[in-house]
Structure 1
Amino acid sequence: MRMLITRPEPDAQATRDRLAALDIAADIAPLMTRQNLPGHLPPPDGFAAVALTSTNALRALSETASLEPLFDKPVFAVGDRTAHEARQLGFARVTAADGTLESLATTIALARVGGPVFYPAGKHLSGDLAHALAPHGLMVVTVPVYEMVAETALAADAIAGLAASAFGAVLFYSRRTAEIFCTLVADVIAPADRRNLPVICLSENVAAPLLNHHFSRVLLADHPSEEAMLALSLAFAREQTGS
């Protein structure tokens, strides 16, 4: 059983290492690369809290030396992994939501934040946090601090492996990654073969583009987290290999 990881670095290598600890071999074919965006951030003293939906936002702010002025703010992270990264970088008051934008909005609303929320985000957003919090009377200032740039081609070894049906499954962590994958493999995987390739997805939203392109062997994590993806990968590998 060999799997293909499509998420960007450095997360792809981290997932590969965790799969290896479960005796699952994996290749890496990142479909996006993070680029920090230039620009000036608004003064931190105008915000009552920080919202985070990605560790990439933290990495972008860290690399541009923009984190320290925010350390005294309470942080609301979309999930445990992003919360852990925030604590590692120096935030002391961090609350983790349940892994979805909806749960993050609910967590912030219930905290009764007393002022505008700063939301450093990616250029391509999969959800609208400002819209979700508007009914609660909360203002969200969304500032793009990074962009995930799509790759224009798959790595040659990944193409060869897909063409030879060498991968037991492909892992997807974001809808945009799934969309890019479908575009890049249009001439690599025949429609009939797509129905036989298992795809392991973080959520239904992530899986939607794959289903639209006739990848019908879709496995969904029972929770939008890395732990759930790894548990599903292990269960699937054991089922396929009988071990």
Structure 2
Amino acid sequence: MRMLVTRPEPDAQATQERLAALEIEADIAPLMTRQTLDAHLPPPEGFAAVALSSTNALRALSDMVSLDPLRDKPVFAVGDRTAHEARQLGFADVTAADGTLDSLATAIALARPDGPVFYPAGRHLSGDLAHALAPRGLMVVTVPVYEMVARSDLDKDIASDLASGRFGAVLCYSRRTAEIFCDLASDLIAPADRRKLPFLCLSENVAAPLLAHHFSRVLLADHPSEDAMLALALAFAREQTGS
């Protein structure tokens, strides 16, 4: 069983290593690269909390040497992995939501911070946290601090292996990654083969572009988390190999 991991670095390599520990061979083809933006950050004293929907926001703030003024703020992270990263970087008061933007909005609403929430985010947002919290009387100031730049092509060897059907499954973690995969790989894979290639996806939202391009063999993780994706990969590999 050989799988293809499409998420950006450094997460792609981390997933590859965790798959190897499960005795699953995987290649990596990061379809996006993070670039820190030259953002003008508002004064931190004006905020009561920080919202994080991605570890990439923390990495961008670290690049900008802008973490120290925020470390005394309560942090609301989209999931356990982002929460863990925040704690590793010195944030003490960290609440983890359940892996989705809706659950992040709910966690913030229940906590009722007594002032605006600072939301360092990506340039391409999959949801609008400010819009979700406005009806609850909470102000969110969204500042793009990073951009995920799409690859313009696939590595020659990866493209060849996709065209010849050498991957047993493809792992997709974000809707935008799935969209980029469809743009770069659809023409490589014959229509009949698209229906055969399995995709392991973080959620229905991630899977939607694949289905629209007739990649119809899609399996969804039980929970939008890395652990759930690895559990899905292991179950799928065992089913395919009979082990």
> Which TM class, normalised by the smaller chain length?
over 0.9
Q: Displacement of 1:187 after TM fit? A: 1.6
Tell me if 1:98 matches 2:98: yes
Counting aligned pairs with the same residue, the percent is 81
The alignment of Structure 1 onto Structure 2 pairs a total of residues equal to: 243
Aligned letter for 1:113? P
Q: Normalized against structure 2, the TM-score is what?
A: 0.99
- 2:135 maps to 135
Tell me the distance in 2 between the aligned counterparts of 1:75 and 1:156: 42
Alignment of 1:1-243 (within 5 A): 1-243=1-243
Tell me the distance in 2 between the aligned counterparts of 1:101 and 1:40: 24
1:142-163 CA-to-partner distances (Å, cap 9, x unmatched) read 0000000000001111101101
Q: Displacement of 1:240 after TM fit? A: 0.1
Tell me the distance in 2 between the aligned counterparts of 1:58 and 1:220: 27
Aligned letter for 2:7? R
Tell me the distance in 1 between the aligned counterparts of 2:123 and 2:117: 18
Aligned letter for 2:57? A
Q: Displacement of 1:184 after TM fit? A: 0.3
Tell me the distance in 1 between the aligned counterparts of 2:25 and 2:92: 37
Tell me the distance in 2 between the aligned counterparts of 1:14 and 1:135: 38
Aligned letter for 1:134? A
1:175-228 CA-to-partner distances (Å, cap 9, x unmatched) read 000000000012201111100000000000000000000011100001000000
Tell me the distance in 2 between the aligned counterparts of 1:180 and 1:39: 26
Aligned letter for 2:168? G
Q: Displacement of 1:112 after TM fit? A: 1.1
Aligned letter for 1:56? N
Q: SS at the partner of 2:127? A: coil
Q: Displacement of 1:64 after TM fit? A: 1.1
Runs of 4+ in 1 over 3 A off after TM superposition: none
Q: SS at the partner of 2:188? A: coil
* Contact kept in structure 1, 2:39 and 2:143, CA below 8 Å: no
Q: Displacement of 1:25 after TM fit? A: 0.3
Q: Displacement of 1:229 after TM fit? A: 0.1
* Contact kept in structure 1, 2:6 and 2:29, CA below 8 Å: yes
Tell me the distance in 1 between the aligned counterparts of 2:83 and 2:157: 35
Q: Displacement of 1:39 after TM fit? A: 2.2
Tell me the distance in 2 between the aligned counterparts of 1:189 and 1:90: 46
Q: SS at the partner of 2:120? A: strand
CA RMSD for the aligned pairs? 0.5
Structure 1 runs not aligned, ≥5 long:
none
* Contact kept in structure 1, 2:60 and 2:145, CA below 8 Å: yes
1:60-116 CA-to-partner distances (Å, cap 9, x unmatched) read 001110000000000000000000000000100000000000000000000011100
Q: SS at the partner of 1:144? A: strand
Q: SS at the partner of 2:189? A: coil
Structure 2 runs not aligned, ≥5 long:
none
* Contact kept in structure 1, 2:191 and 2:214, CA below 8 Å: yes
